[in-house]
Amino acid sequence: MKRRVLGIAFSVLWLTAAGAATVDQVGVADTANVGGIPLVLNGAGLRTWFFFHVYVGALYLRAHTTSAAQALADPGPKRLSMTLTRSLSADELVDALREGIARNASPAERARIAPQLDALVATMRAIGGAKEGDRIAIDFLPDGTTRITLDGRSQGRPIAGRRFQRDLLAVWLGPNPVQTDLKRALLGGG
């Protein structure tokens, strides 16, 4: 079932004196470590669907940028973290990712990454859904592989392919992102 994704301008990032962030009462770490490389919080915001709060997204990069093109072109490492503010089924996770990729990749581009997308779908289905408070992280490693974790535990096998990494991150940072104000927040624009 294809869903039309709508959002409300609600991605506000609050910084505390210590530098840690809070979005929609969810704490967001100011650093992450991917593949042994330290990353900094680039931005964070709230994903909404109609009037429902779905997750707090956070983007971690080696250095701050406000450019989506630069973030997409960077070979990594990078992390896109989602802390759920409501429970989601595996089908809801899969449908949202497929729709986001379809919004930003042509049919030919989707055909080229079909094996990687199938692997991502299999990983999400194996997770079986996620509950409120769970944190799903998508790690984009510099060797061209993508790794999924749930609450810090690796899920499925690493998925190879730099093109896949770019197309997956475009769900949030592409020309037709899942939510425009979330994209702006991830790029540090609040």
The reply to whether 99 falls in a domain is: yes
CB-based burial, 108-131: b 16+ in 10 Å, e otherwise:
eeeebbeebbebbbebbeebeebe
User: Is the pLDDT score of 37 beyond 50?
Assistant: yes
Q: How confident is the model at residue 26 (pLDDT cuts 50, 70, 90)?
A: confident
The reply to whether 79 falls in a domain is: yes
The reply to whether 86 falls in a domain is: yes
The model's pLDDT over 78-89, given as tens digits with 9 standing for 90+, comes to: 999 999 999 999
User: Is the pLDDT score of 175 beyond 50?
Assistant: yes
Query: Total structural domains in the chain?
Result: 1
How far out from the chain centre does Cα 1 lie? 21
The model's pLDDT over 40-76, given as tens digits with 9 standing for 90+, comes to: 999 999 999 888 999 999 999 999 999 999 999 999 8
The reply to whether 150 falls in a domain is: yes
The reply to whether 5 falls in a domain is: no
Q: Which domain, by its residues, includes 35?
A: 14-186
The reply to whether 155 falls in a domain is: yes
The reply to whether 6 falls in a domain is: no
Quick one: what percent of the chain has pLDDT higher than 90? Answer: 78
The reply to whether 61 falls in a domain is: yes
CATH code for the domain in which residue 157 is found = 3.50.70.10
